[in-house]
Amino acid sequence: MIDTTKWERKEYELTCISPIHIGNGELYKSYEYYYDRYNHMVYFLDPVKWADFLAAKGLMDAYAQDVEQEKGRLYLKRWLDAKVGRGQALQAVKKMTLSSSSVCLSSEKRESVNDIARQQRDVYGYPIIPGSSLKGVIHSAIRWHLICRNPEKYRDLWPEINIAVEQRNRKDVRNLTAQLEKRTVNVLHLTDQSGKDALNSVMRGIRISDAHLTVKKRDTVLIQKLDASFKKKKGYGRAAVEPEGHTLSVFRECIPSRSKYRFTITLEREIVQKIGLSSLKELWQWVREYTQAGIHMQEKVFGQDFNAEFQEAETADLLLGGGTGFLSKTVLYALAPSQEEGQQTLAKYLDKAFHKGWRPAHYHQRDDQGLTPRTVKLARFGHERWMMGLASVEEVK
């Protein structure tokens, strides 16, 4: 039995308010999945069954040669339908499928969905939310809270950040970020050895399990990247939000909205008390405040055009996974003397860090108004539209 004087351990249920993408680092190309646009489905094949099928049909060499000849742009559906017939191809594909994704695209005429960023799964093939992903959000929330609680303690880093940004010195920016890490969470002072900062981190006192589905389903949804920007743009007047957003040819396999997960967190009281954290209830309060601070900053710019999306986001305790965009920048905003100064510095940094030739790639200093970056990340499926990566968390009693 756990010693409650030293540890606090609780189980939680996470509900996906909107689709969530936790990438596993794999990108599937158009010759690695079967896209049935008539039924709005993508099928991911079992590689062993797929190899056996090709061998049994005498198509192994033809497949390899055609993939090479098309330089990786071969469409598996078109190729397989031509080889064995559409009806037979689809029947065979369903027998070889490991998992499938429902698809909703901006254009129904596409033959493929480009490269697909795959979702993280457990050893049984079910979509999973790793504990490391949850811990990453909590880590950022703790830093944000500590800075907001005592901003003057860290404010001396701000002029140095501005100098590093002006000089386009990424190494200095990284070093200053490391200093901020050391002064906020690396406060255990257990070692002075270089490269051993993790030993000094209070994050050692927070242990989080992987989150697993409460109802086991392998199938996912495929979400096309959808951004809405506030900028000067021809046809929208002086400055306006794109009313429907704009899609990009980036596709992510996602956990569907309304999916439910269970996980546990254990706090080691002696360690986390070093930063004034007393309980799991207080930890989730910090995480929610951090999440909502980022959402409210975006709402000031985008709320009028995406009112329903921001109303739903009020129920979120955290933003999680890929495609959520802005939230990681809020720690920098917390460090800045004002939101305006934070925006100006961040805009300058992004212009200097990302450029095409001598020109900025996105002209943040010129076009951003009220917020940098000037984009809200959305997810759309059918008639539903949300902010990407929203989740709520509730203690399991």
Q: In this structure, are residues 76 and 28 in contact, taking their beta carbons and an 8 Å threshold?
A: no
Side chain identity at residue 39, one-letter code: N
Residue 297 has pLDDT above 50, yes or no: yes
> Which H/E stretch holds residue 228?
strand 220-231
Q: Is the peptide bond before 373 cis (omega within 30 degrees of 0)?
A: yes
Q: What is the model's pTM?
A: 0.90
CA distances from 307 to 20, 294, 300, 328 (A): 21, 16, 11, 23
Question: Rounded mean pLDDT of 113-139?
Answer: 94
Q: Which of 128-142, 325-339, 342-356 holds the top average pLDDT?
A: 128-142
205 Cα distance to chain centroid: 25
Distance CA 133, CA 181 (A): 18
The predicted structure's pLDDT at residue 245: 66
What is the average pLDDT score of the chain? 88
Distance CA 275, CA 258 (A): 34
Q: Which residue has the higher pLDDT, 76 or 325?
A: 76
Name the percent of the chain lying above pLDDT 90: 57
Please count the other Cβ atoms lying within 10 Å of the Cβ belonging to residue 392.
14
211-263 per-position pLDDT tens digit: 999 999 999 999 988 888 876 555 444 455 665 666 777 899 999 999 999 99
Question: Rounded mean pLDDT of 335-363?
Answer: 86
The predicted structure's pLDDT at residue 87: 86
The predicted structure's pLDDT at residue 194: 64
Residues in the chain: 397
Q: Can you read off the two tokens belonging to residue 26?
A: 């794999």
CA–CA–CA angle 137, 319, 141 (5° rounding): 35
Give the list of residues 6+ apart from residue 150 with CB closer than 8 angstroms, or none. Answer: none
Least confident of 28-37, 182-191, 306-315, 383-392: 182-191
Sign, CA torsion 231/236/239/242: negative
In degrees and rounded to multiples of 5, residue 11 shows phi and psi of -105, 145
Residue 330 has pLDDT above 60, yes or no: yes
The predicted structure's pLDDT at residue 237: 45
143-192 per-position pLDDT tens digit: 999 999 999 999 999 999 888 888 878 888 888 888 888 999 998 888 77
Question: Rounded mean pLDDT of 195-213?
Answer: 90
